[in-house]
Amino acid sequence: MIKGNFIYQNYRQALEKIDIDSPCLAKLSVQLNIGTKDYENYLISERRYLAGLQMEPENEQVQVEYMELLFDLDLLKCVYTSLPHLSYSLATRKKADAAQALYADRDRLMIREGYTGLQITQITTQNQTTFQRWVAKNEEVLRYEEANGIAIRWTPTMSEYEDALVVVCERKYRRALDDLESLVVQCLFEMKKLGMSGVGYKLREKIMKLLRTRADAIQSALKRYNEAALQM
């Protein structure tokens, strides 16, 4: 019953919009010298454009995937950078530097600090693990470069890197915007249901709880959107 009423109300709103907008459309059609055939072509063009957005261009996919690999590699190498999306690497760098310092100082730790064999083994293992993870990631990057014909590894000073970084930031921004819009639309639909007649107490409580959850999700999505927008 509720679903049927919801569809009926939407149908009524659609009819009202047609009645209100039809005179404006007729006036604009005369002014712009366009007609029904033009509108149909506009719809076809829009559908074609939207269909093309279902998958990213192949070259952009390669750029993004390669940049993500480079980001991971830089993180493991603990190379500090001022780029906003890599600022978190400083904490990892400090941790890795500490492991390397302990490894270099293991003789003194055994002689003067009384470190046992088990403690020295832990220090050695931690240092080797950090290096092995970097080696594994570097091999992954090398395989990707070979598969995609990248002869020289991109660095921040290269135009390829700068262009790809723009693509990465724009992609992150678009996805954040899509997520935010999707959550807002879902919230509006729930609010629409809440205002409908015939909604029982239990269903109303359920919708209210869902709205609170969506509000938290929207706040998180808005934060991600603002962060992505700052990088544009």
Q: What pLDDT is attached to residue 98?
A: 54
Whether residue 168 contacts residue 71, with contact meaning beta carbons closer than 8 Å, is answered with no
pLDDT value at residue 116: 57
Shared-domain flag, residues 134 and 203: no
Q: Where are the alpha helices (DSSP H) in 33-57?
A: 36-52
74 plus 115 within the same structural domain: yes
Q: Are residues 50 and 62 in the same domain?
A: no
pLDDT of residue 46: 87
pLDDT at 161 (0 to 100): 92
Same domain, 167 and 134: no
Domain match, 142 and 87 both? yes
Q: What secondary structure, in 3-state letters, does 146-191 show?
A: HHCCCCCCCCCCCHHHHHHHHHHHHHHHHHHHHHHHHHHHHHHHHH
As for how many domains the chain has, the answer is: 3
Report the candidate in 60, 78, 81 with the shortest Cα–Cα distance to residue 164: 60
- pLDDT given for residue 113 in this prediction: 55
DSSP state of 33: T
Give me the domain span that covers residue 145: 58-153
Q: What is the pTM of this model?
A: 0.55
Are 63 and 122 members of one domain?
yes
Residues of the chain below pLDDT 50: 79-93
Residue 214's pLDDT is what? 81
Pair (62, 45) in one structural domain: no
64 plus 149 within the same structural domain:
yes
> What pLDDT is recorded for position 93?
46
